Amino acid sequence: MGKRRKGREIVLQSTYASLISGAALTETLEDQISRRESADETTDFARDLMNKIQLHRTEIDGRVKALVTRTNWSPERLGVLEKVILTMGVAELVHSPDVPVRVVINECLELTRRYCDEGAVGFVNGVLDKAAAEVYPDGIPGSISGSGPAGEGQNP
């Protein structure tokens, strides 16, 4: 497993633990990091992603809610893990322009496959495709004209 993938998994598990326990995000993140023997690059990435989520929480939550609503799905019906994954994905799409769009979406889909119901993968993909199109209205950097952010019609 790649270092950034491990970092994303740490953020997912930390956020979930925080939501369930009521503990502060920074506390659950540091707890998750201390339980693992991760490379510095992994922990740095996890801390950076968590900081972006916390710093831009209102904006990211608003974007996720709007995107989910446009799919004719009630944001209140979202599962906790799906919401956390969408939050992470939107945070990276908006605030980590150095990470390719396809990588962000594919990594979120891998987390969805691993932690959520099978049916959630298509939903998460659709929402993040819409998010990428909003963030990059003039076209996704590095994508082929006519294809979606995650290579619509292809298996990510």
Do 27 and 69 share a domain, yes or no? Answer: no
Q: How far is the C-alpha of 108 from the C-alpha of 88, rounded, in Å?
A: 8
80 falls within a domain: yes
93 falls within a domain: yes
Domain with 70 in it: 58-141
Give pLDDT tens digits along the chain (156 positions).
Answer: 688 999 999 999 999 999 999 999 999 999 999 998 889 999 999 999 999 999 999 999 999 999 999 988 888 889 999 999 999 999 999 999 999 999 999 999 999 999 999 889 999 999 999 999 999 988 887 765 444 444 443 333
Task: Give the pTM.
Answer: 0.88
Do 29 and 72 share a domain, yes or no? Answer: no
Q: Would you call 67 helix, strand, or coil by DSSP? A: helix
Do 108 and 45 share a domain, yes or no? Answer: no
Encoding tokens for residue 40? 């510095």
Q: How far is the C-alpha of 12 from the C-alpha of 60, rounded, in Å?
A: 15
Which of these, 12, 29, 31, 26, lies nearest to 124 by C-alpha position? 12
Do 44 and 70 share a domain, yes or no? Answer: no
Q: How far is the C-alpha of 119 from the C-alpha of 78, rounded, in Å?
A: 12
Burial (0-12, 13-18, 19+ Cβ within 10 Å), 115: middle
Do 116 and 88 share a domain, yes or no? Answer: yes
In this structure, the chain runs to a length of 156
Residue 58: its pLDDT value, please?
97
Residue 105: its pLDDT value, please?
97
150 falls within a domain: no
Encoding tokens for residue 111? 């987390």
Q: How far is the C-alpha of 8 from the C-alpha of 84, rounded, in Å?
A: 11
Q: How far is the C-alpha of 120 from the C-alpha of 81, rounded, in Å?
A: 10
Number of domains in the chain: 2
Do 51 and 85 share a domain, yes or no? Answer: no
